[in-house]
């Protein structure tokens, strides 16, 4: 009976580690540097810039989607784990089997909240979506002839500024 409990604890801990590792992977995957245009000598520079903008829009959209997804998954893990710990922490309601899982569930909750806050995931995801919206709107205006290529390139730079860098603010108290 004790071996089954130990096996169950190992499985639960392994699942928690896998979920957290996947979340960390998604966080770091989208903080990488953007790829530069792969064409070095082109006769049609405007078309290359348009293709670069389209690629950038796709990258921003993917980044925003994955960061929002990671943010929601980690938030759900934190909420569910916290509710579990709060519900079963009291000695009168905690059975022996639930009491064994509390350290693992507490770890999952704390790790999820720490990842969300240390990387400022909500703000970063919103910045990605804001940069995408701004560049998409500007690109649409360029395609309709409302603005020039110079204004489009300025907007791409501004979108990169909106996107910002990696925020890491870990302040354990």
> Do 12 and 101 form a contact (C-beta atoms < 8 A)?
yes
Residue 168: the pLDDT is 79
pLDDT tens for 61-111 read 999 999 999 999 999 999 988 888 887 775 555 556 667 778 888 888 898
Cβ neighbours of 149 (radius 10 Å): 12
pLDDT tens for 13-50 read 677 777 777 677 766 665 554 444 454 444 578 888 89
| Whole-angstrom distance, CA of residue 87 vs CA of residue 117 | 24
């Amino acid at each position: 009976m004790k071996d089954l409990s130990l096996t169950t604890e190992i499985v639960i801990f392994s699942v928690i580690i896998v979920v957290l590792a996947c979340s960390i992977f998604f966080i770091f995957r989208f903080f990488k540097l953007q790829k530069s245009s792969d064409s070095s000598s082109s006769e049609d520079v405007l078309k290359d810039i348009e293709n670069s903008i389209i690629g950038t829009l796709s990258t921003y959209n993917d980044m925003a989607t994955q960061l929002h997804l990671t943010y929601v998954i980690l938030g759900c893990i934190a909420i569910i784990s916290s509710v579990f710990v709060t519900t079963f922490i009291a000695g009168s309601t905690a059975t022996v089997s639930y009491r064994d899982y509390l350290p693992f569930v507490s770890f999952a909750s704390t790790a999820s909240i720490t990842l969300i806050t240390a990387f400022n995931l909500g703000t970063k995801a919103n910045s990605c979506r804001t940069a995408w919206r701004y560049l998409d709107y500007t690109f649409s205006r360029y395609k309709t002839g409302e603005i020039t290529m110079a204004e489009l390139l300025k907007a791409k730079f501004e979108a990169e500024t909106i996107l910002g860098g990696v925020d890491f603010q870990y302040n354990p108290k």
